[in-house]
Chain A
Amino acid sequence: MKRVMGAALCALLAGGIAHANAETKLTIATVNNGDMIRMQKLTDDFTSKNPDISLEWVTLEENTLRQRVTTDIATKGGQYDVMTIGTYEVPIWAEKGWLAPLDQLGPDYDVDDIMPAIRSAVSKDDALYAAPFYGESSMMMYRKDLFDAAGITINGRLTWDQTLEIAKKLHKPDEGVYGICLRGKAGWGENMALITTMGNAYGARLFDENWNPTFDSAEWKAALDMYTNILGNYGPPGATSNGFNENLSLFNSGKCGMWIDATVAASFVTNPKESKVADKVGFTEAPCAATCTGANWLWAWNLGIPMGSQKVEAAQKFIAWATSKNYLELVASKEGWANVPPGTRMSLYQNPKYLEAAPFADETLLAIDSADPINSTMKPKPYVGVQFAAIPEFQGIGTTVGQQFSAALAGQMTVEQALAAAQSGTDRTMRKAGYY
């Protein structure tokens, strides 16, 4: 009897050990947006192909996620095996040695198919440190019906001066239509994303070659004058509270003549389930001014592996699955081509089925292709990034400067005062950080 029990115990233990060996649990931190949620729902496809790997999802709001994963990776907490990080974090974290290079994505992965702009944003010394899951730039969405009624036609890429004239014509607050909707909410990823691209278009840059801030330049003055004028006079009331979602609601309910924001918005504004103006939306590139260089931003959500993770092999398998061409086809087969994560793979924009399902595909591709994080300003600059500078200090600087620009929009300070405050505050931060 004892022998039988002993054998049974051994078998149980062996089974347990075998099971423990068989299952590698990957904890994945991600943001809550449609594409990521769709990926969670398609997890079965990955686990059926990799029965020895199980996935645990931790979905968080963007700011919470950023704080959470930054704390974890900086302290080597080891809570996550795969992290969703933006193009701002990737170069900084790769430089600090916090991210594992992605060198086992497999022979079928086709790295060369990743859009060059996005690939350069997530690479260091030609090595990929994160794989893009979806990418976006910025562009203008406009109401074709209102343009037609006002006799406005778009010939070539608009300038900000032309955009101002159009906003004046479309602005009819009595009828519930505002000329233009733009981000006014303060924050480095909110109003600063737009204003920095406006600055680029006017020939400005965040820092000169010696890391001195340049908010005291005439270019910044022209950009901020335009921003406060066009949004303050021809935008919706209370624009200082409006971020992406607020403007999306306004546009979808037919209250914006134009809206310049992320290309990812295109799928929302053309979705009849979400938008009252789904069949009346046109797309064009973001306006230029002195130059078109850097006039539209570049952002991507990417999957990376924290250095020191004990599950790098399994994590790379997962990343290869989630960011592959096959994954796009999987999403298309389950949810339709209009719902595949956009902006990362060139082959998607050569796919006639996708081009047919996504009327905004050409403009999205044009916008992403023209955004270069290395060459995004008219004058030379020392930093990487179109709408941000990929240095750790930028989050704080961007948020503070964003608040000052928001105050200028609200009329609490003049444009000159806001720029002077931005210049002195940024100068202090850069000095403290030892840049000069």
Chain B
Amino acid sequence: MEHKQSPLGYISFSVFAWIVGLLIFFPIFWMVLTSFKSELEAVSIPPSFISFDWTLENYAEVQERSNYFKFALNSIILSVGSTLVGLVFAVTCAWAMAFNPTKRTKDALLWMLSTKMMPPVGVLVPIYLVFRDWGLLDTRFGLIMVLFLINLPIMVWMLYTYFKEIPTDILEAARMDGATLPKEIIFVLLPMAVPGIASTMLLNIILAWNEAFWTLNLTTSDAAPLTAFIASYSSPEGLFWAKLSAASTLAVAPILVIGWFSQKQLVRGLTFGAVK
């Protein structure tokens, strides 16, 4: 039965949605705006909206001081690398849990997620010692391993939710036709789960891109991504908001573009299973 919404309800919902949307977008808008102000204008009270002397000097200074492309390249390698490695483990894990559950599957899933609740600083020293002894400090490989492991629970959860929606009969039919396990996963399961995998990958790329604890603590220069780039523009003494905003705008620009073009897949992936 279709529920028809009244025009008043439709308008009020739209207005509410717009207000929420604008509130969420405002900090990003303000950051971009601040990046074009001088340091003095960036902190002036009351703040100026449009009527200020627009300047590109912050971007010039950021470019002069840091090699943006080196940091950006590391961010791309770390986020995409950790996502691809994670996907291999998450797909097999989610397959086992979705199609061959045991009575402990739900507990295992919850336990996996509970590891995300641990404050990372609690294991900083042990991880740092392991990295030091294995020569992984300031290496992309080491960080890919850490990022893939910290995001694995979320990847497994998302893929598990997605795989649960795929009828088991189809996989059984493939097995009846003689498909081996790898063929069943690669040629039958994965093509059907492409939207779910795409949204999982996108979300994981965003999470890895934004990760700022391990990427700051385990890198110095060679493997430092954009989070380290931003961190170098915050200052306890002196005005820094305009330059920090310029650095932040440069850092979030790639992920904003990816997010904009893939928002349909993202929303679909995130809300899948929520409405049945």
Query: Which residue numbers of A lie inside 8 Å of B, CB to CB?
Result: 27, 29, 31-34, 37, 40, 56-64, 67-68, 71-72, 74-80, 189, 243-245, 248-250, 252-253, 255, 262, 264-265, 268, 273-275
CA distance A252 to B45 in the complex (A): 10
Given A71-B128, A77-B137, A274-B40, A244 and B236 contact (CB-CB distance below 8 Å)? yes
Contact between B132 and A64 (Cβ–Cβ < 8 Å)? no
Are A32 and B137 in contact, CB atoms less than 8 angstroms apart?
no
Report how far A250 CA is from B219 CA in the complex, Å.
36
Given contacts A68-B217, A80-B220, A274-B39, contact A245 B236 (CB under 8 A): yes
The residue in chain B whose Cβ has the minimal distance to the Cβ of A40 is B65
- The main secondary structure of chain B at its interface with chain A is loop
Q: Report the interface size for chain B: residues with CB under 8 A from the other chain.
A: 30
Q: Which residue of B lies closest to A37 (CB)?
A: B65
Q: Is B221's CB within 8 Å of the partner chain A?
A: yes
Stretch at the interface among B79-87, B191-199, B227-235: B227-235
A348 CA to B2 CA, complexed, in Å: 82
Please determine whether B132 and A71 come into contact, CB atoms closer than 8 angstroms. no
Q: Please judge, given known A-B contacts A27-B220, A274-B39, whether A253 and B44 are in contact too, CB under 8 Å.
A: yes
Q: Tell yes or no: B125 within 8 A of A by CB.
A: yes
Chain B residue nearest to A301 in the complex (CB) = B237
The answer on a CB contact under 8 Å between B237 and A67 is no
Q: Which residue of A lies closest to B221 (CB)?
A: A56
Instruction: Please name 9 further chain A to chain B contacts, defined as beta carbons within 8 Å, in addition to the given A32-B235, A71-B217, A244-B236, sorted by A numbering.
Output: A58-B224, A59-B232, A62-B236, A79-B137, A79-B138, A189-B236, A248-B239, A249-B45, A252-B43
CA distance A62 to B38 in the complex (A): 23
Whether B65 contacts A77 by the Cβ 8 Å rule is no
Pairwise interchain contact A60-B231, C-beta atoms closer than 8 A:
yes
User: In the docked arrangement, what's the CA distance between A296 and B234, Å?
Assistant: 26
In the complex, B240 has a CB within 8 A of chain A: yes
- Could you pull out 14 A-B pairs where Cβ atoms are within 8 angstroms? A27-B221, A56-B220, A58-B224, A58-B228, A60-B232, A71-B125, A75-B125, A244-B237, A248-B238, A249-B45, A249-B239, A262-B237, A273-B38, A274-B39
Instruction: Report the Cα distance A27→B219, complex, angstroms.
Output: 12
Given A75-B125, A77-B132, A249-B45, CB of A64 within 8 Å of CB of B237: no
Residues of B within 8 A of A29 (CB): 220
Contact between B128 and A75, CB atoms less than 8 A apart: yes
Report the bound CA distance from A37 to B238 in whole Å: 12
Which residues from 109 to 143 on chain B have a C-beta closer than 8 Å to any C-beta of chain A? 124-125, 128-129, 132, 137-138
**In the complex, B216 has a CB within 8 A of chain A:** yes
Q: Which A residues are CB-close (under 8 A) to B125?
A: 71, 74-75
Q: Is the interface of A mostly helix, strand, loop or mixed?
A: mixed
Q: Count chain A CB atoms within 10 A of each CB in B45, B220, B224 and give the residue with the most.
A: B220
**A-B Cβ contacts below 8 A, count:** 95
Decide if A273 touches B40 in the complex (CB within 8 Å): yes
Chain B residues within an 8 Å CB radius of A56: 220-221
Closest Cβ of chain B to A414, distance in Å, is 31
Q: Which of B's residues lie within 8 Å of A, judged by CB?
A: 38-40, 43-45, 65, 124-125, 128-129, 132, 137-138, 216-217, 220-221, 224, 228, 231-240
Quick check: B237 and A245 within 8 Å, CB to CB?
yes
Partner of A67, one of B43, B217, B234: B217
Question: Is the CB–CB distance between B137 and A249 below 8 Å?
Answer: no
Complex: how many Å from CA A77 to CA B231? 21
From the candidates B217, B221, B234, B239, name the one contacting A61 in the complex (CB within 8 A).
B234
Q: Across the interface, which residues of A come within 8 angstroms of B231, CB to CB?
A: 60-61, 64
Q: A77-B137, A79-B220 in contact; A249/B43 too (CB < 8 A)?
A: yes
Most central of B40, B128, B233 by chain A CB within 10 Å: B40
Q: How far is the CA of A262 from the CA of B44 in the complex (A)?
A: 21
Give the most central of A33, A58, A76: most B CB within 10 Å.
A58
> Could you tell me the distance in whole angstroms from the C-beta of B241 to the nearest C-beta in chain A?
9
In the bound complex, residues from chain A placing their C-beta under 8 Å from that of B43 are 249, 252-253
Give the shortest distance, in Å, between B64 (CB) and chain A (any CB).
Answer: 8
Q: Are the C-beta atoms of B235 and A61 separated by less than 8 Å?
A: yes
Chain A to chain B: the 8 pairs with minimum beta-carbon distance, closest first:
A61-B234, A59-B232, A249-B43, A62-B236, A32-B235, A79-B220, A77-B132, A56-B221
CB within 8 Å for A77 and B237 given contacts A27-B220, A40-B65 = no
The reply to whether A33 and B236 form a contact with Cβ atoms under 8 Å apart is yes
Query: Residues of B contacting A37 with CB < 8 Å?
Result: 65
Interchain CB contact under 8 A, B236 and A76: no
| Cβ-closest chain B residue relative to A67 | B217
User: Which residue of the partner chain A has the closest CB to B235?
Assistant: A32
Give B132's nearest chain A residue, CB to CB: A77
**Complex: A74 Cα to B126 Cα, angstroms:** 12
A341: min CB distance to chain B, Å = 12
**Contacting residues, chain A, for B237 (C-beta < 8 A):** 33, 244-245, 262, 264-265
**B262 to A: closest C-beta gap in Å:** 31
Shortest Cβ gap from A85 to chain B (Å): 14
CB-nearest residue of chain B to A36: B235
Q: Assuming the A-B contacts A27-B220, A32-B234, are A75 and B129 also in contact, with contact meaning beta carbons closer than 8 angstroms in the complex?
A: yes
CA A32 – CA B45 in complex, angstroms? 25
Instruction: Return A46 CB to nearest CB of chain B, in Å.
Output: 17
Contact in complex: B239, A32 (CB < 8 Å): no
B239–A268 touching, CB < 8 Å: yes
